[in-house]
Structure 1
């Protein structure tokens, strides 16, 4: 019996091989795209989920109730860890965690590595497999370090790295460290990636801040004891925060802050390690969102849904050719069950082939997919038992529903109705129309989403940031020389170059450079009886001129004025924060004994991400702090030669350092890489969804033309023109597309508006975007069905009537 079903299924599929091919191509593409997108989503959702103690691991943060609202800080002071472990019950292990680059020296090699400065508990808290060396306590003393497999290869090649001694530049001096372990390259997505781990106590900031609760500069990660919940621990920590942050709490009360629902002005919070990757603190709360991941999953299932709808519609479209076959089978005694399994078997065969081709296609596209969307996702994430069982259940459900509906529809036809060759599909027509509306509604949503995403990307890219991003070249000062000496030598090397218009430096880059670093520095002080917070930026001379910032009041730092080393320049937002009519009369407290006068005010500019509102900013000339990035303004006429000259000059100053230069507009582009990736994904999904929708619409046009063949012939006989018949055949489709537009446009507008609220500066939503989306859908529909309907309208009426 089964062999007979398979043989008949093959014959029918081969007889209608054009439609079979279209179905297989559509489903294969949908399965391939869905596989890749699901793989990427599962890969994202697996972030930090591989740690054996994952349910007990947390990142600490503090919520502040300020007069302006709730604020959150994740940076902690040096004494915080030891005090928390000893004073609040429930902490099993604790570690500081500070990410900074470290300059390593080994023989003639000089390499910058991504470093983390951690306590000795770090490797027993987190599951980081060790390939070689001490696996129980790799940071056994303050002269021990742990490096990654990739870093070991850079430094030692094929040599055994264990017990090798390397020098690390700390506070301008090279200190020796012994390599005690090598970690395996992490194939899982992790928020704790590094190339070298160094004892936290050896960080340059540790000793000066060992007893200072006001110096906050690193993260703290804790492992709670088993049975201790995060909420209970947070509640038990109230006495701890009230004691150690007593002065801060008094200032909050003085400034008019209101306590939270629990009566606390400061509250310690714990964020599960598994949620770090998905959590933002920009809104004053720990906001965990996996929306972007679920959006990718949504696009995958929408594409799969459209392909399945096409299969249903095309199966029904071709069913009229098999009506007499069904009648003959029923006349000869075939039961409904047998007919159902016959037709469902054909669908199952198509799905089996499509799934196989889809998986093969996804394998072929994997490398391009990883490059396009900058993901490390691989098929390994799909090989877990849960995923495989879920995939089998999902595929079986799809084949049962999608293949079963047409099979059920055909098997339920009456014998006489089938022998007449008539398919009464009033109910089916309603379903068909609904599916077409849903299909094009999805297409319009995706087109609208594409336009909004790319519109916002272009808005951010072209926004006036308040500084010259096209002509300024930046690069990290990553050599062994003192940064101020390096900048002085750079000025000397490029002094005679007519294409170099300015040179300066600061401790923080603008945008995200090629080294991947992006951070800010914030400090608070009292000003006339109120607390003031400001971003701090340590700069060198000529910074304002080199960046092309606009000076509104006062003057810039001048190298001939030695007193400027104890002065500050502020931005507009900082001037408003101080509340002075003349901000040049203000003095800003640097510490308990020093107050620096304000000598200038610059116009606000976006020194952070474009998505964030501009915050108060203070410029300082602080020789005790290093300069991390150099900025060179070049002549736009001869940019290529200018960059070569800059690189050659820096190589002469630091011959062993890696040169990682880029223009500031490139740095800015990197800050919204996520938006660009999402826009590319939605665009790709839109194109695929539209193509699949067109396939479905083409199938529908075949069905309608086949059902109205006699009508077309009669209309032609009584004098109807080709254009009028074409209009009659297409108007129903266009009506459905219009309904889809009416339904989808408000949804697209609402979703776009909500998404844009994540940005302090964003494009204005214009109705024209949604009109373009609807017009695009209409045009695509016309192009899809136009060829078939025009051909039917031009057909000889004698042929049409003879066919009936």
Structure 2
């Protein structure tokens, strides 16, 4: 029996080549895209889950109240972690974590490495498997370091790394460390990345801040014991907070801050490690959202859904052509169950073939996919036996539903009615039309999303950020030289170059440079019996001129005034914090006797990403703090030549450093990676959704035109024009697109409105986005069916009337 099913299935598919090919193409492409997008989604969802103790590890964050509302931070003081270990029950392990670059020297090699400064428990908490050296507690000694396999190769080549002595620059001095352990390279799904790991006690600022509760500059992770709830951490740390943050709490009450729902002004809470990659700290709260991941998986599902709708629609449309076959089979004794399995076998065959082709396509396109979507997915992520079993089970279920519904309809047809070749298909048409409405509704939804995403992305790219981003080059000040001395040497090297206009430096970059590093510094101070919080930026001379910041009042730092090293330049947002009529009368207070006067105010500029409002910032010049980035303003012509000049000059200033320069507009564009990924994904999904919808629409239009051939001939004989007949055949399709538009537009508007809430600076959500999406879908649908209908309308009516 099964052999007979296979044989008849093969003949039927070959007989209807057009529909077989269209179904196979649609399903193959849909499965390929669904596989790739699903891999990307599951890759993101697997972040940090490779750690054996991932479910028990949490990141500590603090929440406090100020007059403007709640504030949140993950930066902590050095004495907090030991206090948590001593005073808080249920903590199995804990570690401080500070990520910053370190200059590492071995022989003639001098390399800037991504370093983490952690406590001894770090490698007992997190799973970074050791390859060589100490397998247990590798940071037990403060003189030992842990390096990755890739770092070992960069430093030592084929030599044995264990036991080698290297120097790390700390506070301007080379200190010796011994390589005690080599671990595997960081997994791609790790939020904690490093090339070398060093004990926290050896960090440059540790000795000066180990007892200072006011210096917050690092993260803390804790591992909870069994049956210890994260919610207990807040209660367990309240006495610790009251003992060590009493002054801060008193200041908050004095300044008019309101307590939270628990009546607290300061508290500590825990963020699960597995949520860290999806967490944002905005508006005083921690928000964990996997919406982007679910969006990727949702697009994969919608693409596959549209392809399945195509299959159902074409199967239903083809049912009218197989009525006599069904009637004959029933006359010869075929039972409904046998007919069902016959037609379902055809569906299963097409699906299995399409899945096979889809897998091949996904393998061929995975490299391009990884490049476009900036992901490190691999098939290894889904090649586990459980995943393969679930995948095959999913295909079987989809096939049973998608192929089973048309098969069930055809198997229930009456014998006599089938033999006559006539059937009332109004019910089937309703199902078909509903599916087409849903199909084009999804396409319109994705087109509207694409238009809004593109517009928002263009808006952010072209927005005036308040500084010169086209002519300014930034690069990390790597190397052992003092950063201020290195900049002065660079000025000397480029002094005779007419294309170099200004040179300066700061301790933070604007946007994301090629080193991928981004940081911020904040501090609070007492001003006239209230606390003011501000972002802090250490700068060098000419910073304002280099970035073309607009000076509103006062002046910039000047070499002519030695006192400027004890002055501050602020932005307008910071000036409002002071509340003074003349902001130049204000000052930054570090103590009762140490005050830095405000000497100038610059117009607000976007020193953070555009998903944040402009916050207060204070610029100071202090040789006590290093500069980490150089800025060079170049002439608007010969940008490439100027780039090479700066690169060559820096090679002479710091020959052992790698030049990682990029213009600020490139840095700013890198901050839009999330938006670019979403836009690319939605755009690709929209194109594919429309293409798949058109495949189904084209196939159905072929069948409908064939079914109405005699009607077309009669209408032409009695005088109908080609235009009238074309309109008659296309109006039903356009009506379905119109219904799709009416359903999809409100849904798209709501989704886009919610998404734009994430941005304080955004476009206006114009109705034209949705009108354009509907018109585009209508035009594409018209073009899809228009060619075939016009051809049918032009056909000789005599030939049409002969058609049975």
TM-score, structure 1 normalization: 0.99
User: Does structure 1 residue 269 correspond to structure 2 residue 289?
Assistant: no
Deviation at 1:770, TM superposition (A): 1.2
Deviation at 1:197, TM superposition (A): 0.4
Asked whether the equivalents of residues 96 and 119 of structure 1 are also in contact (C-alpha less than 8 Å), the reply is yes
What residue in structure 1 maps to residue 753 of structure 2? 753
Asked whether the equivalents of residues 313 and 699 of structure 1 are also in contact (C-alpha less than 8 Å), the reply is no
Structure 1 stretch 627-636 or stretch 319-328: which is displaced more?
A: 319-328
Residues 46-61 of structure 1 aligned to structure 2 (within 5 Å): 46-61=46-61
What residue in structure 2 maps to residue 280 of structure 1? 280
- Secondary structure of 1:339's aligned partner: helix
Asked whether the equivalents of residues 53 and 126 of structure 2 are also in contact (C-alpha less than 8 Å), the reply is yes
User: Does structure 1 residue 656 correspond to structure 2 residue 656?
Assistant: yes
Q: Distance in 2 between matches of 1:204 and 1:625?
A: 12
Structure 1 stretch 319-328 or stretch 498-507: which is displaced more?
A: 319-328
Structure 1 stretch 419-428 or stretch 115-124: which is displaced more?
A: 419-428
What residue in structure 2 maps to residue 476 of structure 1? 476
Structure 1 stretch 373-382 or stretch 316-325: which is displaced more?
A: 316-325
What residue in structure 2 maps to residue 239 of structure 1? 239
CA RMSD of aligned residues (A): 1.0
Q: Distance in 1 between matches of 2:423 and 2:522?
A: 74
For structure 2, the 5+ residue unaligned runs are none
User: Does structure 1 residue 84 correspond to structure 2 residue 84?
Assistant: yes
Deviation at 1:147, TM superposition (A): 0.5
- Secondary structure of 1:803's aligned partner: coil
Residues 15-34 of structure 1 aligned to structure 2 (within 5 Å): 15-34=15-34
- Secondary structure of 2:537's aligned partner: strand
User: Does structure 1 residue 358 correspond to structure 2 residue 358?
Assistant: yes
Q: Distance in 2 between matches of 1:757 and 1:118?
A: 37
What residue in structure 1 maps to residue 670 of structure 2? 670
What residue in structure 2 maps to residue 203 of structure 1? 203
Q: Distance in 1 between matches of 2:188 and 2:230?
A: 25
C-alpha distance after superposition, 1:88-146 (max 9, x if no partner) = 11111110000101111111111111111100100001111111110101112111100
- Secondary structure of 2:637's aligned partner: helix
What residue in structure 2 maps to residue 330 of structure 1? 330
Asked whether the equivalents of residues 186 and 194 of structure 2 are also in contact (C-alpha less than 8 Å), the reply is no
Q: Distance in 2 between matches of 1:704 and 1:254?
A: 78
- Secondary structure of 2:251's aligned partner: helix
What residue in structure 1 maps to residue 303 of structure 2? 303
Deviation at 1:760, TM superposition (A): 1.4
Q: Distance in 2 between matches of 1:474 and 1:115?
A: 22
What residue in structure 2 maps to residue 163 of structure 1? 163
User: Does structure 1 residue 440 correspond to structure 2 residue 432?
Assistant: no
Deviation at 1:266, TM superposition (A): 1.0
Asked whether the equivalents of residues 5 and 345 of structure 1 are also in contact (C-alpha less than 8 Å), the reply is yes
- Secondary structure of 1:208's aligned partner: helix
What residue in structure 2 maps to residue 182 of structure 1? 182
Q: Distance in 1 between matches of 2:21 and 2:703?
A: 17
- Secondary structure of 1:588's aligned partner: strand
Structure 1 stretch 48-57 or stretch 627-636: which is displaced more?
A: 48-57
User: Does structure 1 residue 313 correspond to structure 2 residue 313?
Assistant: yes
Asked whether the equivalents of residues 97 and 219 of structure 1 are also in contact (C-alpha less than 8 Å), the reply is yes
Structure 1 stretch 369-378 or stretch 381-390: which is displaced more?
A: 381-390
C-alpha distance after superposition, 1:294-351 (max 9, x if no partner) = 0000000000000001011111222222211111111111111111100000110000
Q: Distance in 2 between matches of 1:554 and 1:199?
A: 45
Deviation at 1:149, TM superposition (A): 0.8
Deviation at 1:529, TM superposition (A): 1.3
Alignment size in residue pairs: 804
What residue in structure 2 maps to residue 403 of structure 1? 403
C-alpha distance after superposition, 1:547-579 (max 9, x if no partner) = 100000000111121111111011000000110
What residue in structure 2 maps to residue 144 of structure 1? 144
C-alpha distance after superposition, 1:246-285 (max 9, x if no partner) = 1111111111111111111112100111000001111321
Q: Distance in 2 between matches of 1:51 and 1:351?
A: 38
What residue in structure 2 maps to residue 456 of structure 1? 456
What residue in structure 2 maps to residue 788 of structure 1? 788
For structure 1, the 5+ residue unaligned runs are none
Asked whether the equivalents of residues 151 and 196 of structure 2 are also in contact (C-alpha less than 8 Å), the reply is yes
Asked whether the equivalents of residues 317 and 702 of structure 1 are also in contact (C-alpha less than 8 Å), the reply is no
Asked whether the equivalents of residues 316 and 432 of structure 2 are also in contact (C-alpha less than 8 Å), the reply is no
User: Does structure 1 residue 423 correspond to structure 2 residue 403?
Assistant: no
Q: Distance in 2 between matches of 1:36 and 1:185?
A: 25
Q: Distance in 2 between matches of 1:455 and 1:519?
A: 29
- Secondary structure of 1:581's aligned partner: coil
Deviation at 1:530, TM superposition (A): 1.2
User: Does structure 1 residue 383 correspond to structure 2 residue 361?
Assistant: no
Deviation at 1:592, TM superposition (A): 4.5
- Secondary structure of 1:637's aligned partner: coil
Deviation at 1:388, TM superposition (A): 2.7
What residue in structure 2 maps to residue 290 of structure 1? 290
Deviation at 1:699, TM superposition (A): 1.8
Deviation at 1:19, TM superposition (A): 1.4
- Secondary structure of 1:636's aligned partner: coil
- Secondary structure of 1:139's aligned partner: coil
Deviation at 1:423, TM superposition (A): 3.0
User: Does structure 1 residue 102 correspond to structure 2 residue 102?
Assistant: yes
- Secondary structure of 2:646's aligned partner: helix
What residue in structure 1 maps to residue 573 of structure 2? 573
What residue in structure 2 maps to residue 509 of structure 1? 509
Q: Distance in 2 between matches of 1:412 and 1:340?
A: 9
What residue in structure 2 maps to residue 724 of structure 1? 724
What residue in structure 2 maps to residue 799 of structure 1? 799
Residues 107-126 of structure 1 aligned to structure 2 (within 5 Å): 107-126=107-126
Q: Distance in 2 between matches of 1:628 and 1:38?
A: 40
Deviation at 1:471, TM superposition (A): 0.4
What residue in structure 2 maps to residue 223 of structure 1? 223
What residue in structure 1 maps to residue 341 of structure 2? 341
What residue in structure 2 maps to residue 66 of structure 1? 66
Asked whether the equivalents of residues 46 and 188 of structure 1 are also in contact (C-alpha less than 8 Å), the reply is no
Q: Distance in 1 between matches of 2:639 and 2:516?
A: 23
Asked whether the equivalents of residues 339 and 411 of structure 2 are also in contact (C-alpha less than 8 Å), the reply is yes
- Secondary structure of 2:208's aligned partner: coil
Deviation at 1:286, TM superposition (A): 1.3
Deviation at 1:748, TM superposition (A): 0.9
Deviation at 1:385, TM superposition (A): 4.2
Q: Distance in 1 between matches of 2:692 and 2:397?
A: 21
What residue in structure 2 maps to residue 638 of structure 1? 638
Distance verdict in 2 for CA 1:761–1:51, change over 3 Å? same
Asked whether the equivalents of residues 59 and 219 of structure 1 are also in contact (C-alpha less than 8 Å), the reply is yes
TM-score, structure 2 normalization: 0.99
Q: Distance in 1 between matches of 2:69 and 2:704?
A: 62
Deviation at 1:188, TM superposition (A): 4.8
What residue in structure 1 maps to residue 766 of structure 2? 766
Asked whether the equivalents of residues 134 and 181 of structure 1 are also in contact (C-alpha less than 8 Å), the reply is yes
What residue in structure 1 maps to residue 779 of structure 2? 779
